[in-house]
Structure 1
């Protein structure tokens, strides 16, 4: 049983969805403290003037220790602004006309969300369904969480009868693999190298942009340019 546990991101890049596709259970760990200038409420798209951040405004003033799932949306106008940016920069992409209604539906649903976690889940689930991802989405709040960072992850895996835990390479800096081994849980680190390039708009190729770039440029061929989704 394969388990991935991570924070939610706003319309993340292809590697994030590869990690979801590996999992039998994908646990959204938004009990963590919200961090500013991170991927929770923003991501990049390509434009004629270079990379551009799409940022969802959130209420953080004086709330230094709030959790990600407690972080509320500060201004509903972000939906219209983001959609206009996508139309302006991707309207000439090969599959924009085919998928603009679908993507716009995600934005229309996200408009009614109150927290950044809720916004992110609209896109994670919608794009996951588009890609044919089979993982079951769960939330960290559904589990009994202990204080130690690694022990929390182990405990979640145990509750799910997990045999394999997958995480990013940056986790090597703090991961205590012995905790997993004692519970017969194998630890794996994602390798995000070696992705094939595809034809993009607006200059040199960029891997680290929102997966919307792939959807508008590749359409149904997205799976052929990912590692775990076939």
Structure 2
């Protein structure tokens, strides 16, 4: 259940590459999300999928297993229904999430994480393409990998979040003719906690149409930056 700023960055992109062949990070957002209350006033809570790493710390994201898929599915759906069920927008969000619950049957974390992000993107009307990094050729260096993956899809610009801009080496992108465009989102209104909590709160509180309008405006601004670069 991606964070609001993450979802907005993907919405502004033509291609989303799921990075499935790197090491699973237990303390990251790959198997968990912060869920805010509907009114945004109560404490946030973690929605976490219990995991099993067959190869220990070396386990890749695509190989990470759900410890108890049936229980994890019931718990996740129950928590979201409790948090957002009272919203008039919940039925639309709930319908969009049905593929997520089906993905638990795979027993793996990656399909669930991918399905949850894809479901919310499609709810907002995104029409881009999705790739997996394991199906594309790329070097192993952090920046080199990202540059190669962007180039493999024919992209001419790479949208980079504020965190990535602190470590990204622009040289591999420059060599391939791929511009690095910083992705910046507002810091007020619905965006105030957008880097911490799942986008589900904004969707349930404001509705897909209102959130989609804001996403489209932000995407247009970054598209202009990409063309300028």
**TM tier, smaller:** 0.7 to 0.9
2:161 maps to 1:172: no
Tell me the TM-score normalised to structure 1 length.
Answer: 0.83
**Correspondence 1:213 to 2:204:** no
Q: Tell me, yes or no, if the aligned pair for 1:25 and 1:138 is still in contact at 8 Å.
A: yes
Residues 34-53 of structure 1: pairs in structure 2 closer than 5 A? 34-47=24-37, 49-53=42-46
List aligned pairs for 1:6-85, cutoff 5 A: 11-47=1-37, 49-60=42-53, 63-76=56-69, 77-85=71-79
Residue 83 of structure 2: aligned partner: 89
Residue 26 of structure 1 aligns to a residue whose secondary structure is strand
Does residue 100 of the first structure (1) align with residue 89 of the second (2)?
no
C-alpha distance in 1 between matches for 2:175 and 2:113:
34
Q: Is the 8 A contact 2:96 2:120 kept in 1?
A: no
Q: Offset of 1:67 from its aligned partner?
A: 0.7
Runs of 5+ consecutive residues of structure 1 not aligned to the other structure: 1-10, 199-204
Is the Cα contact below 8 Å between 1:94 and 1:218 reproduced in 2?
A: no
Q: Which has the higher helix share?
A: 2
Q: What residue is the counterpart of 1:228 in the other structure?
A: 219
What displacement does 1:34 show?
A: 0.7
Q: Tell me if structure 1 keeps the 8 A contact 2:160–2:181.
A: yes
The answer to whether the 8 A contact 1:109-1:122 is kept is no
Is the 1:110–1:118 Cα contact (8 Å) retained in structure 2? yes
Instruction: In structure 2, list runs of 5 or more residues that go unmatched.
Output: 222-229
SS at match of 1:43: strand
* CA 1:79–1:177: 2 relative to 1, 3 Å: same
1:62: Cα distance to partner? 6.1
Normalised TM-score (structure 2) = 0.83
CA distance in 2: counterparts of 1:183 and 1:137, whole angstroms: 21
Q: More displaced, 77-86 or 55-64?
A: 55-64
Instruction: Report deviation, 1:68.
Output: 0.8
Q: Give deviations 1:157-209, integer Å, cap 9, x for gaps.
A: 222222111111222332111221122211112113335339xxxxxx74332
Aligned to 1:160: 153
Confirm or deny: 8 A CA contact 2:53 2:63 kept in the other structure: no
The answer (yes or no) to whether the contact 2:137–2:152 under 8 Å persists in 1 is no
